[in-house]
Chain A
């Protein structure tokens, strides 16, 4: 099994376990599912994905988009708390 296959399998497996665990603990906010998916994605990408600069450069586009979505979620939560 090469590193890329391991990366896909491990990331998907951890995400499935995370989703089931969140459901088990009764979590119903979609923001939490998204945030933890992003966290898992960042960690596995950093640890497992083969270190090739061109991979990192390309994935930084997706990571950037995901972080923008995450920031919007956080901003919405802050606004909800404040008002």
Chain B
């Protein structure tokens, strides 16, 4: 679309020059006629509100996503849920995948062969949902990325999150800090901001975290094969700081 704007500016300047040359300097109407044609087309291209098709598609998808969030908000409200969800590796058939366990009671649900929906065990009840970000995880796995790590170090985790920059392009850079059981992920210059979602759907933000937090938690839960929860999120001018906590033991 930028090329059209450049063409428009070029035609407009060329048109003005031709018109002056043809009408004022030499009075050659053919040149002035070309000038008029170029001015009309150039100004049209400059004024047209052209935008990259992908931007329009993104906007549409974002609005659709907002509707999904609205549904999830209603569901969480129905169950009076406001506890933090636990990103948990689960086995579905032979595949290891990730689900979010949303505790209905105070007790932290134990990992089991959950697939989805309401799960009642003798010890706890929880709502099991697919995390936003699972499809990204699946896509990265299908693309051949090796998302496993035995180490809980900042370098190893940064390496795990690199595909989010290279393949998904969610932001410009990611840096990670590890302190004990807490993992702090700094997302710099995210391409799309979702603060509006956090304000409009507070239960979803409280239970699952933002979309970025959910994507990061899903990836890390899978890669580290451990249970994680989103502790906090801080939004800055051009960065988002997500703090995750590894849940160990029962």
| A residues lining the B interface (CB < 8 Å) | 4, 8, 11-12, 15-16, 18-20, 22-23, 27-30, 33-34, 37-38, 41, 45, 54-55, 58-59, 61-62, 66
Contacts and interface: CB of A to CB of B under 8 A. Distances in A.
B40 A33 contact: no
A15 B43 CA distance: 15
Nearest to A59: B44
Contacts of A15: 34, 37, 40-41
A62 B36 contact: no
Nearest to A63: B44
Contacts, number: 65
Contacts of B36: 30, 33-34, 37
Nearest to B31: A19
B47 A58 contact: yes
B2 to A, nearest CB: 13
B144 interface: no
Contacts of B21: none
Nearest to A29: B29
B47 A30 contact: no
Interface residues of B, number: 19
Given A30-B23, A38-B40, A23 B45 contact: no
Given A11-B41, A19-B37, A55 B48 contact: yes
Contacts of B29: 22-23, 27-30, 33
Interface in B26-61: 29-30, 32-34, 36-37, 40-41, 43-45, 47-50
Interface of B: 4, 7, 23, 29-30, 32-34, 36-37, 40-41, 43-45, 47-50
B44 A12 contact: no
Given A8-B7, A30-B23, A62 B34 contact: no
A8 B49 contact: no
Given A15-B41, A59-B47, A61-B47, 7 more contacts: A15-B40, A19-B33, A30-B29, A37-B37, A41-B44, A54-B49, A55-B48
- Interface on chain A toward B: helix, strand, loop, or mixed SS? helix
A67 B152 CA distance: 70
Contact of B33 (A4, A11, A37): A37
Contacts of A19: 30, 33-34, 37
Nearest to B50: A4
A15 B36 CA distance: 10
A12 B29 CA distance: 17
B43 A12 contact: no
B44 A62 contact: yes
16 contacts: A8-B4, A8-B7, A11-B41, A12-B37, A15-B41, A19-B34, A22-B29, A22-B30, A22-B33, A23-B30, A34-B36, A37-B33, A41-B44, A59-B48, A62-B40, A62-B44
